[in-house]
Structure 1
Amino acid sequence: MLNNDERSLKIYEALASRPRLTVIELLAKQDMNVKELAERLGFSSATMTMHIKKLEEAGIVVNQSVPARHGHQKICSLALNEFTAQFRSPAAEPEREYYHSSIGVGQYVDYAITPTCGMASRESIIGQMDDPRYFSDPGHLEAAIIWFASGYVEYRIPNYLLNTQRLKSIDITLELCSEAPGFNEQWPSDIAFAINGRHIGTWTCPGDFGHKKGILTPPWWNHGTQYGLLKGLRVTEEGSFLDGIRLSDTTIADLAIMNGRDLPFRIEVSEEARHVGGVVLFGKDFGNYSQNIEVYLNYEHVEK
């Protein structure tokens, strides 16, 4: 999710160039090396290297060294499939504030899952793969990636709201994808989300992505899935949305949130779904985005 912070600024700067936009268009069709890109745009290799560096710094393009006829060559590929931008005007909502929580993907408080399944920290696999019992291992708190074929994991969102604060909206961003054996770019999965026991919507993830290395995925990881898509959930007084597109008519009022009580947040792939394609959840040390499950409880002050 892009806004007006420093990380987003790098992306805006990288996109503010017609040659770099052309590079993105070319890489969307196929991976290419610097020489090939330079020839297509009519640039020198040095100039093209400068443009690629700018795109790398923004996290849009990634370089991988692969064997060539003489030594190795660096192949450029897209690191992002999509992104969304969200802007808020302090002038329009001068009294709006928020509570922020960063929840690790291994910090779930409840689960019921079926294989394939497993989890790993930044350094190694936790427990044994495809054995749901290891989701109770105390080491799950250190997980940076978790996956399962069906079922759910449930997290607790801290609720620090006071009696003088009224919840206006909830924003949740997270990186996730489907879960296929190995990986499969065409592997749809109906992933459902619920807050405080109320269904807020279902999103069909298109696939399980593994054809190129995740930007943050550690070198030792060779289990197929490499990265996910960064998705933004939002529940407001008007309804529930994913990346700005309406998911359902469930509103903040429908969640019946009470001050002093944490909010259960469930991520589920039901065995009754049309596409039972599992889910992979990425923390800040795996995938393409350096973040956990980020939650914002946006509120306004009210008089008592």
Structure 2
Amino acid sequence: MSAQVCVFGIVACLQVLVHNKLSFLLTRTFLGLAEAGYIPGAMYTLSTWYTKEELTKRIAIFFFGMFGGTAASPLLGAALLRLDGKCGLFGWQWIFLVEGLFSVAVSIFLFCFLPEHKEVPRSSNQVDFSGLRPMKGPLAHPSKPHIPFRLVWKTLTDMRKWPHFIATGCVFATWSPLTTYTPSIFMELGFARIKANAFCAIGSLLTLPVILFFAWMSDKLSKRGLTVMVAIFVYLIALVMLRIMMHRVDKWGKLGLWTTVNALAVGYHPIHNSWIQINCKSSEERNISVA
């Protein structure tokens, strides 16, 4: 996991050298490849330390880091854009360089301090890294050192998992482009570049209480599937409102609509993530499903 973060940071730094469309597309492709395994790996690691009852809250806290970073990134970008022209670099080059170097530094921290999960005999209890209490249950530890291809195929063709996969695909097909192009959208509404980047942080910050609320709701009701459906339906309502109202309000109204959509898009995600893991029969199946 630390190696993935390090490679991601190095590729991010190399974007400073981008000078045409082809080099841009190539570096972005490698950037995607470098980051793709981190979240599934992190989810799997969490599942080896916590029980079914504990997992949802821990995943929600994990996504606090992800979406908190998404909120801080536009603010950092807005600040770094002010360095435009310093040391012969454009503002966008400063963004890639600083954020890439930060990722490399974090990878070193991760390598030094992330505790490795040690497989233990089935007859004993897994102890978490705090050393304070034993862990029990099917999520406690992996059962095999490798994953055979036939299990990958069996998991991917299991129709009971397809609602999970389709739901994730549908939400991210709308949310990911929105977050990627939100600064450009805000600039088209008439906001200056630096201000547009800063405004992007609002929706991401609002995501934090949203995911916390749905995680609390999931634990309170013990109905993960129902909570996921409610959260996705709330996001759908926000999208419909955006579609209906977009051309009827001024730029501040449009800013509010886009911000609402960004805030509500992924409230379902931590619960959905733990839901699919809990329904898996083995650690190997859980790993593949999350990926």
Higher RCO (C-alpha under 8 Å, 6+ residues apart): 2
Same fold (TM > 0.5): no
Compute the TM-score of the two structures, normalised by the length of structure 1: 0.22
Larger helix percent: 2
Larger strand percent: 1
Compute the TM-score of the two structures, normalised by the length of structure 2: 0.22
